[in-house]
Structure 1
Amino acid sequence: MASQPPPTLDLTDMTVRDLTEDCLSTFACCIQLGYHDHQVVLDNMLESLHLWAQSTAETAAASGSLEQALESRPDDLQNIKFHLFMISVELNSYAMNSTNYETAKKYILTIGRYIESLDMMTRAVIGQRP
């Protein structure tokens, strides 16, 4: 029996805006769950992602959208979409484990890493200033 290649994640039909809105709405739900100190950290992360979304939209506005601004750099666009997708996945995992302090904390750390990486990568790709 021939082995099949692993499935790939196709985010082609999803826009950065759609993925961002999904993350922001999932964050809003997650902030209501779990331990207070986790809620505070998640609220700060939500604000960071919100600021990222605003500054990215402003920077890409001249082109119409981030997709159009990165038309010649499809790998970079895919990487940004992947990070947003993974933030959403980790938020959903947090939501399912929010009552387990240590497990929830691990998801929060991972979410934070994805947001930080997303911010640095986007700045490098579209030339935003800190």
Structure 2
Amino acid sequence: MEQTAASVRELTESCISKFERLLSLDNLAYVKSLETRLADFRLWADGVGALAKAGVSLDSRLQGRVNDLALVKNILIMLANSLDYYMNLAKTGTSSIDGAVLNIDSAIKNLALIGVAIRRTGKASRNRKADHTFNPNAHQEFKASGMQGGELA
């Protein structure tokens, strides 16, 4: 299966699995630099619903936004590839992991920026929906109970 055909959920699970395999290494120098990055990645996944059930998942919410979905998937693929590269460095005992760490950091930072944008568009969408469905006639009691001159009494 081509990586871009995978869902955001599958790609996210794959990245978490790769992180966990790296964290199981005996070499403390390699493990220490990844613990915080895994925590950041899990926060991103929870914040955007990357691992949520169908209907509320990021895959579902981005279903009609093909370019946004492709962008998220491509960054997740980049993260997975960076984690594979990191694993290769760890297995060979290479002492210079700085480049691999920068790649991982870059991917997580990009995902975080996209997460902020996703939350903003979701909030704006909910506000538009609330404005569109608001029926002032259904709230006459509230209006009569103390709204005078636009302020609460």
TM-score range, shorter chain: 0.7 to 0.9
| Structure 2 counterparts to residues 36-115 of structure 1, below 5 A | 36-57=28-49, 63-98=55-90, 99-102=93-96, 104-115=97-108
Aligned residues: 118
| Bigger relative contact order, structure 1 or 2 (CA pairs below 8 A, ≥6 apart) | 1
How large is the RMSD of aligned CA atoms in angstroms?
2.5
- Tell me by how many angstroms 1:105 deviates: 2.1
Question: Structure 1 pair 126/71, CA: closer, same or farther in 2 (3 Å)?
Answer: farther
Q: Scaled by the length of structure 1, what TM-score is found?
A: 0.78
- Tell me by how many angstroms 1:25 deviates: 0.6
Question: Structure 1 pair 62/123, CA: closer, same or farther in 2 (3 Å)?
Answer: farther
Distance in 1 (CA, whole Å) between partners of 2:21 and 2:3 is 26
Question: Structure 1 pair 79/41, CA: closer, same or farther in 2 (3 Å)?
Answer: same
Query: Which segments of 5 or more consecutive residues in structure 2 lack a partner in the other structure?
Result: 124-153
Match of 1:116 among 109, 120, 129: 109
Q: Percent identity among equivalent residues? A: 27
Q: Which moved more, 1:68-77 or 1:82-91?
A: 68-77
Q: Scaled by the length of structure 2, what TM-score is found?
A: 0.67
Letter in 1 for 2:113: M
Match of 2:23 among 28, 31, 35: 31
1:60-91 deviations in whole A, cap 9, x for unaligned?
Answer: 77942212211232101110011111111110
